[in-house]
């Protein structure tokens, strides 16, 4: 068994010693069978939420009414959930009724895909009532039971299916894909925030180029923010190697660029993205347009800053623009990188020119920056003063 499960074994042991069943479940078991890096480790148990809370000294009640308690153990958090069944999905997302049960089989039966409906004992034995292991071996994504029922219970599962295709390099089984096509409209019932999370995971997956055509074939794109009329742009997405990008702002920059979005802020705000990401994308797009039009220069490198230069360098590479010299390496050679690097202050300028504060101070700052960046003057207070005064007399 993977070392990632070692700390969590203590939780299973405590539950077992007190007469309860407990198993590792979900994504951690799937990723263990795939030899992938294991993230969050979830545990399913026959113990009720109150019993879980009473058994462990450090817990967080994040949803005991629905059976979930976070147990803190040796600096790690583990989600421990009581076996349960769900019914009455009135909003196509959350069950209106949860019933705690004592059957692991019933608990696994409520899950989305067979590859996620596998449990593992403390000793590493696999419990797989829905042939999830076979689906993993065949690299197929298929629902537990009737796909239409699963998607009508939780419409976000349709986005999750395509996201898993991107992340795991799996294929959708025929019945699952057909059911997504029939029920794609239900994605309208899902919050934008949830769709955004799944879409970003899709963009960052190693097989995202294979996921885009599925978004189109299943018609899911018609119910994703800002993409409903973008079929031509989306058809072009698989042309590019998205996995060369690193930051979420880079992914969104490429999305906006390929869709030729003019009002970038309005488009990105449909996705409820943080202002910091929106502003970075706007800066990236402006920088890309400048580079394509006029190429890199010291002033552009300086104005963009290290983070933007690195992001744009990667994006331009994905777009196929040849860059014989690394812009970031050129940025590193700049004599100044921030206004705070200047060997002068606003007070110096006021004293030298004996004028009241005004826009002229900012204009002179820009002039000094340009002079230093173009090697016309050294970043030295005395030399800057001499240079400015001589420029002023011309």
Q: Please write down the HEC assignment for all residues of the chain.
A: CCHHHHHHHHHHHHHHHCCCCEEEECHHHHHHHCCCCCCCCEEEECCCHHHHHHHCCCEEEEEHHHCEEEEEECCEEEEEEECEEEECCCCCCCCCEEEECCCHHHHHHCCCEHHHCCEECCCCCEECCCCHHHHHHHCEECECCCHHHHHHHCCHHHHHHHHHHHHHCCEECHHHHHHHHHHHHHHHHCCHHHHHHHHHHHHCCCCHHHHHHHHHHCCHHHHCCCCCCCHHHHHHHHHCCHHHCCCHHHHHHHHHHHCCCCCHHHHHHCCCCCHHHHHHHHHHHHHHHHHHHHCCCHHHHHHHHHHHHHHHHHHHHHHCCCCCCCHHHHHHCCCCCCHHHCCCCHHHHHHHHCCCCCHHHHHHHHHHHHHHHCCCCCCCHHHHHHHHHHHHHC
Kindly calculate the radius of gyration of the chain based on its CA atoms and give it in whole angstroms.
28
Asked if residue 363 belongs to a known ligand binding site, the reply is no
**Overall size of the chain counted in residues:** 394
Asked if residue 94 belongs to a known ligand binding site, the reply is no
Asked if residue 30 belongs to a known ligand binding site, the reply is yes
Asked if residue 194 belongs to a known ligand binding site, the reply is no
Identify the residue whose tokens are 């104005």. Answer: 303
Rounded to whole angstroms, how far apart are CA atoms 314 and 247? 10
Asked if residue 88 belongs to a known ligand binding site, the reply is no
Asked if residue 42 belongs to a known ligand binding site, the reply is yes
As annotated, the binding site includes 27, 30, 40, 42, 111, 154, 157, 160, 163
As annotated, the binding site for CTP includes 27, 30, 111, 154, 157, 160, 163
As annotated, the binding site for ATP includes 27, 30, 111, 154, 157, 160, 163
As annotated, the binding site for Mg(2+) includes 40, 42
């Amino acid at each position: 068994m993977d070392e990632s499960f070692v700390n969590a074994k203590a939780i299973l042991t405590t539950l077992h010693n007190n007469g309860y069943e407990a198993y590792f479940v979900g994504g951690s078991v799937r990723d263990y069978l795939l030899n992938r890096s294991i993230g969050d480790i979830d545990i399913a148990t026959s113990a009720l939420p109150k019993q879980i809370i009473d058994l462990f000294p450090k817990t967080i009640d994040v949803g005991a009414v629905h059976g979930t308690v976070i147990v803190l153990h040796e600096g790690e958090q583990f989600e421990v959930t009581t076996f349960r069944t769900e019914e009455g999905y009135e909003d196509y997302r959350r069950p209106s009724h949860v019933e705690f049960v004592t059957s692991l089989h019933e608990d696994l039966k409520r899950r989305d895909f067979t590859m996620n409906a596998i449990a593992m004992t403390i000793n590493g034995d696999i419990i797989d009532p829905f042939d999830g292991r076979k689906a993993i071996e065949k690299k197929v994504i298929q629902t537990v039971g009737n796909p239409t029922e699963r998607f009508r219970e939780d419409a976000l599962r349709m986005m999750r299916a395509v996201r898993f295709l991107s992340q795991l390099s799996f294929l959708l089984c025929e019945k699952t894909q057909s059911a997504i096509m029939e029920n794609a409209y239900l994605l309208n019932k899902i919050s934008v925030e949830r769709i955004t999370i799944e879409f970003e995971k899709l963009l960052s997956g190693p097989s995202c180029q294979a996921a885009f055509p599925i978004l189109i074939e299943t018609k899911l794109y018609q119910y994703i923010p800002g993409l409903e009329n973008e079929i031509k742009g989306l058809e072009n997405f698989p042309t590019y190697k998205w996995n060369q990008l690193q930051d979420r702002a880079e992914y969104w920059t490429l999305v906006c660029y390929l869709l030729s979005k003019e009002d970038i802020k309005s488009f990105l705000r449909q996705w409820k993205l943080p202002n910091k990401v929106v502003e970075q994308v706007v800066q990236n797009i402006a920088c890309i347009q400048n580079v394509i039009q006029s190429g890199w220069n010291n002033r552009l490198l300086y104005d963009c800053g290290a983070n933007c230069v690195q992001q744009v360098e990667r994006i331009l590479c994905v777009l196929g623009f040849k860059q014989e010299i690394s812009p970031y390496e050129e940025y590193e050679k700049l004599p100044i990188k921030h206004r705070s690097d200047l060997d002068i202050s606003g007070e110096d300028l006021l004293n030298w020119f004996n004028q009241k504060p005004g826009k002229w101070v900012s204009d002179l700052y820009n002039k000094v920056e340009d002079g230093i960046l173009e090697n016309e003057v050294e970043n030295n207070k005395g030399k800057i003063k001499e240079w400015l005064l001589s420029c002023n007399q011309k």
